[in-house]
Amino acid sequence: MKYSNNYVFYPDNQQLERAVQHFVGKLVDPDPKDIRPDTQVTEPDNFIHTRGNFEQHLYRATLLDTAREVFEQELTEEYRQQAPLEWAQTQNHLGNILAAQAQQLRDEALYRKAMAAFESALEVLSQKETPFDWAINQCNLGTSAQAVGRQESDSNLLKQAVDAYTNALLVWTRDETPEEWARTMHQLGNTLHAHGLLLKGNRTLQKSVVAYKNSLKVFIADDHALELAATHMNCGTVLHHLAESEENAERMEAAIQSYETGLLVFVEQQLPIHLVVLGRVNIATARGKLAELRKDARIADETADEFEVILEAFHGSLQPLCIKHCEAQRDHARSLVETLSTN
């Protein structure tokens, strides 16, 4: 089974932001250029929130090297004995820094070190005595395992991520900790999606849909605009892949509806324009597949026109792989129009 390429969206990683901010708070008279984003780039970054779970946007990437060095030096056995909870928190911060570097470099070894840091913290923390911190580290362990599992197409790591999120959900509840519960459900949906694609397992993909829909019970546009839009979009990607697996046109229409709802949030909440564009790419890709399933030349023709508009209006800000995808989908839709018109 060959699944379509589409865009998954990743909201801000609050734990990574806290780790970097914790380090910045340690600096004495920091150089301003080191603690603000590098704006001296030749082209604007039009793919923020699409590269993974460990992308930080507030500081220069070089700051991560210094933060890692400082946290590693602090993690002595003496520190663990004297202040075990603070030691565990530092392990948590280090894990997030390592995972951010791993994502930048696509470095499996760094991801493994991040996972080891979270696992070390869990040696000190417990569900009974420190439930909040224990759940945070379970989530962080899950997210790092998810990231490397997706990168390396490793089913065992993705299963480990599912288990870690499930552990966190023993603490987070919709009634008492709704935001933490919803964010964990979102990440569980991401993981089950990736795992389901590897397994080619529709049951796992269906579980992903359930996890995303759970998140949608909490996220609201005014307070969680990016999270809400991303969840609708990502739920659409799972429905999209389920529709392809089942060759089910009704399921594809449900995917398109989910995409369109996410796109509406992007627009109404005035989120960055590149998110709107990539949402349109997802919708057009799904409509191209719907045209195949329905054998509908009209839908195929509309799809070709939409990809042409995207390519003409946004060609300068699209990544090469996205351009290639749009061109291939446009050409395929045009070919489908010709085939269906002659039959």
Q: What is the pLDDT of residue 42?
A: 45
Q: What angle do CA 70, 75, 77 make, to 5 degrees?
A: 150
Domain boundaries defined on the chain? 1-171, 214-343
Tally the residues of the chain.
Answer: 343
Q: What is the pLDDT of residue 56?
A: 85
Q: What is the pLDDT of residue 246?
A: 96
* Full pLDDT tens readout for the chain, 343 residues: 789 999 999 999 999 999 999 999 888 777 766 666 665 544 456 898 999 999 988 888 888 999 999 999 999 999 999 999 999 999 999 999 999 999 999 999 999 999 999 999 999 999 999 999 999 999 999 999 999 999 999 999 999 999 999 999 999 999 999 999 999 999 999 999 999 999 998 999 999 999 999 999 999 999 999 999 999 999 999 999 999 999 999 999 999 999 999 999 999 999 999 999 999 999 999 999 999 999 999 999 999 999 999 999 998 889 999 999 999 999 999 999 999 988 7
Q: Which CATH architecture has domain 214-343?
A: Alpha Horseshoe (1.25)
Q: What is the pLDDT of residue 178?
A: 98
Q: What is the pLDDT of residue 57?
A: 81
Q: What is the pLDDT of residue 37?
A: 65
Supply the pTM of this predicted model. 0.95
Distance CA 136, CA 156 (A): 21
Distance of CA 39 to the CA centre of its chain: 24
Distance CA 327, CA 335 (A): 12
